[in-house]
Structure 1
Amino acid sequence: MSQLRREALRAFKKLHRTRQFVFQGDELTLKAGRKEINEQFRKNQSEKNEDEIKKMIQLAHDVDNELRTSVIQAVQEEEGVYKLRITEETTRLDNVVFNPDAIIEKPASRNRKGNSMGGCCGGQNATKN
């Protein structure tokens, strides 16, 4: 078995383990995830171009990382109350309190010379006022 084939098989198995971990208890999502992983790998199993295979293996690693760090489960316990399943691998960002009295300034105009040009980026359909 070639090295790339072994790497692809490892990525395939790792995605399935991640799917089972991230979506545990959610049978519908577990089935959909299994189907999608199997379809994508089956669709590309006859690929011979090594560069393309490496790109697909990297994509599998990226998807695995994204699932482990970005997906959380929320289960409704009662009306308006949810229990979140956050793991050690889940990315946590700073929780900044929103100031409802904040003054949000409009973005500066892109046209610095005061000319009002229409169209995208003052393109060919632009007209001067």
Structure 2
Amino acid sequence: MAARSKVMQLFKALHRTRKEVFKGDDDALEAARQNINAEFRNNLTESSPEKITELLKFGTDVEIILRKTVIQGVHTDHNRISIKPRKEILLDNVPFNHNPTIKDT
């Protein structure tokens, strides 16, 4: 029963992430919804605990990759794309050091 609960949690997490990552892009939202549902449907009858654990790990990795690496872009004109980065993607800017120190080993 614990595996079923984890599967449902992952299913919901993937759909929440999909809604956040592809907000405003109806085509991408629908494609991601169909893909998530199809993958879960294809593995609905899986009963091997090892395979279920492997699939849960894969699904968790996909959710993390979607959340941390996907950036939306919008064509603003023929040669330009405007990006819409989410807060979790933005990294702290580290200033460039013009005079790096060389360590003697």
Q: Which band: TM-score by shorter chain?
A: 0.7 to 0.9
Unpaired segments ≥5 residues, structure 1:
95-129
Task: Give the Cα separation in 1 of the matches to 2:22 and 2:4.
Answer: 27
Instruction: State the Cα deviation string for residues 24-69 of structure 1 (Å, max 9, x = none).
Output: 1111111111001000001101110011001101111100000011
| Residue pairs, 1:1-129, within 5 angstroms | 2-90=1-89, 92=91
> Considering only aligned residues, what root-mean-square deviation do their CA atoms show, in Å?
1.9
TM-score by length of 2: 0.81
Identity %: 33
Contact 1:73 1:85 in 2 (8 A): yes
Q: Which runs of 4+ in 1 moved over 3 A?
A: 91-94
Structure number with higher relative contact order (C-alpha < 8 Å, ≥ 6 residues apart): 2
The offset of 1:20, in angstroms, is 0.6
Residue 93 and residue 67 in structure 1: after superposition, are their counterparts in 2 closer, same or farther (change >3 A)?
farther
Task: Give the Cα separation in 2 of the matches to 1:78 and 1:93.
Answer: 30
Task: Give the Cα separation in 1 of the matches to 2:90 and 2:37.
Answer: 27
The offset of 1:83, in angstroms, is 1.7
Q: Work out the number of aligned pairs and report it.
A: 94
The offset of 1:82, in angstroms, is 2.2
Task: Give the Cα separation in 2 of the matches to 1:30 and 1:88.
Answer: 19
Unpaired segments ≥5 residues, structure 2:
94-105
The offset of 1:6, in angstroms, is 0.3
Contact 1:22 1:72 in 2 (8 A): yes
Which letter maps to 2:77? Answer: E
Task: Give the Cα separation in 2 of the matches to 1:64 and 1:91.
Answer: 17
Report the structure, 1 or 2, having the larger helix content.
Answer: 2
